Structure 1
Amino acid sequence: MRVINFNAGPAGLPQPALERAREELLDFQGTGMSIMEHSHRGKEYEAVHNEAISLLTELLGIPSTHQVLFLQGGASQQFAQVPMNFLTPETSADYLMTGVWSEKARDEAKYYGQSRIAATTINADKRYTRVPKQEEMQLDPAAAYVHMTSNNTIYGTQWHTFPEVGSVPLIADMSSDLLWKPIDVSKFAMIYAGAQKNVGPSGIVLVIIDKGFMAKGSTNIPKIFRYSTYAENNSLYNTPPTFSIYLCRNVLAWIKSVGGLPQLERWNREKGELLYGMIDRHADFFRAPVEKGSRSYMNGVFRLPTEALDETFVAEAKKAGMVGLKGYRSVGGIRVSMYNAVTVDNVKTLVAFMEQFVKKHG
């Protein structure tokens, strides 16, 4: 029996995508071997590869000005690869600080040029409980780019309106909320996302990059770190993680089959309303630190009155078939990750458990 998986990443995958992989695992489309065993230069794998790109392009409405790339190294490698390509000792980039991952991204930029904190919402407790307001941003119109993290898995905050940055290229780490709803890709010079939240398994990074912006990338770095290298080779410059891309294809096909991103947004908003409705009804017991306007639909965080109750909550939830609810190690508490593979019924089950937990321990 499968558990209800609230892990923050690697996260659960839609069951139809997994079932498709199970059916094809030993014999992919009558070829007598798994897709994992096919050459990445062969027509069988190439068809899967191109289908994944096509599905992502269709679902997000990616314009012809942008190109989809498959990379490795996780979002953490992108923290370094972005400034490696687009920052020099003579230039500066703006960073919008909203959590641990934006801090890590800025730290990597320091090796290549100047990095400015254009906005931060860190509080006296060194935590982030909201995203910046537009009027709080001190943007440099001459910046090489502005970098943001669209959803913050650790602190449970999310941008619900993307910042206006003028003519400066906007780069977004969307690792934990890409594909949760439709977005206007044209607003961004570059989007990158580790797949292991909403798109597929770990081991693959999706990049959506403006071709004109990409052309400005450095040529004084190794080819393997240039975005243009992957663009020129359809992300087949070297052997990609073929099974991870195959599973991404399965997930993207599932998203299309259920109605695309508009349907996912409806489900995701319903899940958020269920969870936060329960939290707000028992606000003295489920203590949510995030300001309401910045609450994440992907990662809902809260604390119970004591750390002992936090631990009891996680343990009793596990016995009830729900896993992955322990908060990030540096902040503690409870974290409910409600990515696309988590169903509305899954969250209803959790909310019913929370109601009983209040009656028992409140």
Structure 2
Amino acid sequence: MKYLDEFRDPVAAHALVEQIRDRATRQWTLMEVCGGQTHSIIRNGIDQLLDGVVEFIHGPGCPVCVTPLEVIDRALTIAARDEVIFCSFGDMLRVPGSREDLFSVRARGGDVRVVYSPLDAVRIAADNPDKEVVFFGVGFETTAPANAMSVLHAQRLGLVNFSMLVSHVLVPPAMTAILSSPTNRVQGFLAAGHVCSVMGTDQYGPLVERYRVPIVVTGFEPLDLLEGVRQAVDLLETGTPELRNAYPRAVSAAGNTVAQQTLADVFTVVDRQWRGIGMIPQSGWALSKRYAAFDAEIRFGVGHLEVSESADCHAGEVLQGMLKPNECPAFGKTCTPRNPLGATMVSSEGACAAYYHFRRLTIGAGHV
């Protein structure tokens, strides 16, 4: 398959590994800010292949994982209402709130539906005028354009029974928070290619200049990631803080300007809580005043709900790169995918889930 099989070639992968090992004179610490990249690194054993040369610490790159606990509880409160059809992507249904998850609400008779596009939720609203249809809009910049388009489409259709519970977060402010932390160990970043395909690479330049760290934009297949690591290690070895695009087949400096214009119209930048991390200024999107009528938080009056995280869950330390998932005392014991303490164990992009499912693999002939 084009752009798939050739980027999983084990011979080419091992050649890149050797180039990285030959170039490195010490161990460097890199952070990937994408849960998909985390899973690819762990599933393909890239961290093991580069052991002693590169330490990967896994950042807050899973939007499901950083969705605040109080937002989950707001979703649960809305979804339990008799007049509501609550629509969400499937990866949110197992994410635990303070007491339960969306699957539990559905098991009790709540109309909770998995959709594959926010436009599916708009269609459901059009087909069910006697119901309130709510879409759970979660994600980074990658999923935001489609969510924004669903609001525009609902407005054009004149739907008064469609709304969105928004929990969008932005990557650069999170990177800023990590780099500003007194516990920061990150020496270079692998930036998420899908985010940059929307927003471009220009927004990362100021981070490079301010913190003097290299940032390499990369994709998600093994060769994409290894090439990103190769370039990052080269920049670190030469002491060159620079922004590089190692994913040019999908990413440009400007990004998708049409999508950006839509985002600027529908959303406004706000301070946002990150689950396990806390408040990061100007790190999220909310619906702008122009589209406040579609804001489910306002429509259902749930903005006041606030809860505290479990003291037993160390997901916040994992998301900040302070702790590896398997170093958490609860990992694989009191916290499993079946009975998770936090979202990082159940999200398809969660670092804890990656370690739980793939960490037992060993390097072999069929394993890049």
* TM-score above 0.5, yes or no: no
Normalising by structure 2, what TM-score? Answer: 0.28
TM-score (norm 1): 0.29
